[in-house]
Chains A and B, each alone.
Chain A
Amino acid sequence: MDEQHKVTVDAQRAPVIEPGYTFGSVTEKISAIVLTRPASNGWFLGFGVAFTLTMMMLYAVGYLVLKGIGIWGVTIPIGWGFAIVNFVWWIGIGHAGTLISAILLLLRQSWRNAINRFAEAMTLFAVACAGIFPTIHVGRPWLAYWLFPYPSTMGVWPQFRSPLMWDVFAVSTYGTISLLFWFIGLIPDLATLRDRSENRLAKIIYGMLSMGWRGSARHWHRYETAYLLLAGLATPLVLSVHTVVSFDFAVGIVPGWHTTIFPPYFVAGAIYSGFAMVLMLAIPIRKIYGLEDFITERHLQNSAKVMLATGLIVAYGYGIEAFMGWYSGDRYDAFTMWNRLHGPYAPAYGALLICNIFIPQVLWIRKLRTNPIALFLVSGVILVGM
């Protein structure tokens, strides 16, 4: 951890970590959250709300399984409707986690170290949420395993030319790599928790999860190598997963979707919304757990800058979509665009433009980039817009 050197070198910018910390005090402070902090009423309240919402989702999914996807208003067998919106939204959220863990690691952006772990956890949950939708949209989710190529009694393989099939590979690879990345990164930390916990059961559980980590030089050497290799593997995934997801649209011949701008535009949108989600999570976490010293203004600012940059790429994507509606000379393309602007969904499209393009421009102002409340609100707006 050479952050402390950075503080002196880079005195102009907000520090990655507030001064005065040593390895020991950082460890002390973070492990105390897990090991000694009592569960407060606020925690139970939060857990209760989350639990209730989860139960509601399970109820809704159960109803869907009984009734079929018609309850979403999907009345044609080739339309995904509600499911694809949610799938793309969730899978996009996950991208910030991978970008932070892999690309920023390779680029030696050490500020990532304070936020990478929970961003990776967020990625895992986002992938899990995303996975729900393709599974249930098939109508008979108990047969969703047909999507996997295995030697079935049907004697046929899934359609490898279908983007849905590519999705299966993209998302399952993504889930696996994210899980490995998160877990391997956690091993030394789990060992710290093992060594610090008082409770015998906790010692055993953390002991098993830390896989015999002793912190020897050889362990660290292997750990660093494995972590770097995984970062190398995960880096192309940041670009490839949402590219494949965009093929769900772009490979079809639906007017307005059949365009080559989709892959970069989707990837930028994924990172954009992912960072918005990181901030949505980081801002309350640093407040509640008193981590302002570790997740500093620098992190917030950097995340805001990433959002600003990717947000502009997304804006360019919207612009090109509109431009192509006119430039293609295709009356169906043109109508799709016209319909978005003036048709029954015009309010939704207007809200999308306002939330994703216009409001986030306030991030050009330095003061707002460093204001947690403003950032939280802008992130919320972006997530709504997406």
Chain B
Amino acid sequence: MSQIFHRSTNTLSRATIFGAVFVVAALLWVAMEVQRSSYVTYAGVRKPQPVPFSHQHHVTGLGIDCRYCHTSVEISSFAGIPPTKTCMNCHSQIWSNAQLLEPVRASYRSGESLQWTRVNQLPDFVYFNHSIHINKGVGCNTCHGPVDQMPLMYQQASLQMEWCLQCHRAPEGNLRPRSQVFNMRYQQPTSANPVVVEGKSYSDQATLGKDLVEKYKVRSVLDITSCNTCHR
């Protein structure tokens, strides 16, 4: 009886059995990387806006505070998108004929709001409150990234649950004094560049964070990682 398979089949079958393990592992790894990529999360993607508003120009160039436009960030769950009137405070005087700003003037004339495209969008099943984060000493750029250097706004973080949790599980790593929350150039303390809070000088984040957790009465990790803290 002739052989059904050529001799090379032996090697081939060993290689496929051995290789299958790696192929399966690689596929799982790729799936996990895709899930975390900006293709899925939109992190770093500049979405089209009715007016190409530059945070870099307004914050770094002109020195406008975050709260000038996002007025409710300290007292509300929602930071607030400014009405057209806020834009017109200045733009009725400067660049009042710029073609780029025509949608703003049109909105002002008609009273119809500008339809901005939301950039940092959390799912509806997540309860998120800006004011509590601000008041416990989480800086704007801790989550939003270097907004003062963004000519066009994009989302910095993945906004995936593991990203939320890496801070909720160890909040002391990201807290700063309340006075520094809106400081886009704030640096965490080092021995060369200490941070002073109420006369006490801190040269590392570990000690500062621990003291701030206590000072601002940040609730226990058990509390802030409980399911219904965010999924109410």
> Which residues of A are in contact with B by a Cβ distance under 8 Å?
150-156, 194-195, 203-204, 207-208, 211-212
Are B35 and A155 within 8 A (Cβ)? no
Are B4 and A207 within 8 A (Cβ)? yes
Known A-B contacts A151-B32, A155-B162, A156-B165; the reply to A211 vs B4 at CB < 8 A is no
**Cβ 8 A contact of A153, one of B1, B5, B28, B36:** B36
Closest chain A residue to B163, Cβ basis: A155
Separation in Å of the A162 CB from the closest CB of chain B? 13
Are A155 and B166 within 8 A (Cβ)? yes
When distances are taken between beta carbons in the complex, the residues of chain A under 8 Å from B32 are 150-151
Are B5 and A155 within 8 A (Cβ)? no
Please report the C-alpha to C-alpha distance between residue A340 and residue B14 in the assembled complex, in whole angstroms.
Answer: 59
- Say if the beta carbon of B13 comes within 8 Å of chain A: yes
Extra contacts besides A151-B32, A153-B35 (17): CB < 8 Å: A153-B36, A153-B158, A153-B161, A153-B162, A154-B160, A155-B160, A155-B162, A155-B163, A155-B164, A156-B161, A156-B165, A194-B4, A195-B1, A203-B4, A204-B5, A212-B10, A212-B13
Are A152 and B162 within 8 A (Cβ)? yes
When distances are taken between beta carbons in the complex, the residues of chain B under 8 Å from A208 are 13
When distances are taken between beta carbons in the complex, the residues of chain B under 8 Å from A154 are 160-162
Separation in Å of the A248 CB from the closest CB of chain B? 22
Separation in Å of the A203 CB from the closest CB of chain B? 5
Please report which residues of chain B, range 23-69, place their CB below 8 angstroms from some CB of chain A when the two chains form the complex.
Answer: 28, 32, 35-36
Closest chain A residue to B164, Cβ basis: A155
Please report which residues of chain B, range 3-17, place their CB below 8 angstroms from some CB of chain A when the two chains form the complex.
Answer: 4-5, 10, 13
When distances are taken between beta carbons in the complex, the residues of chain A under 8 Å from B163 are 155
When distances are taken between beta carbons in the complex, the residues of chain B under 8 Å from A211 are 13
Please report the C-alpha to C-alpha distance between residue A224 and residue B166 in the assembled complex, in whole angstroms.
Answer: 51
Separation in Å of the B57 CB from the closest CB of chain A? 34
- What are 26 A-B interface contacts by the 8 Å CB criterion? A150-B28, A150-B32, A151-B32, A152-B162, A153-B35, A153-B36, A153-B158, A153-B160, A153-B161, A153-B162, A154-B160, A154-B161, A155-B160, A155-B164, A155-B165, A156-B161, A156-B165, A194-B4, A195-B1, A203-B4, A204-B4, A204-B5, A207-B5, A208-B13, A211-B13, A212-B10
Separation in Å of the B158 CB from the closest CB of chain A? 7
When distances are taken between beta carbons in the complex, the residues of chain A under 8 Å from B164 are 155
Separation in Å of the B77 CB from the closest CB of chain A? 22
Q: Which of B4, B158, B160, B166 has the most CB of A within 10 A?
A: B4
When distances are taken between beta carbons in the complex, the residues of chain B under 8 Å from A156 are 161, 165
When distances are taken between beta carbons in the complex, the residues of chain B under 8 Å from A150 are 28, 32
When distances are taken between beta carbons in the complex, the residues of chain B under 8 Å from A151 are 32
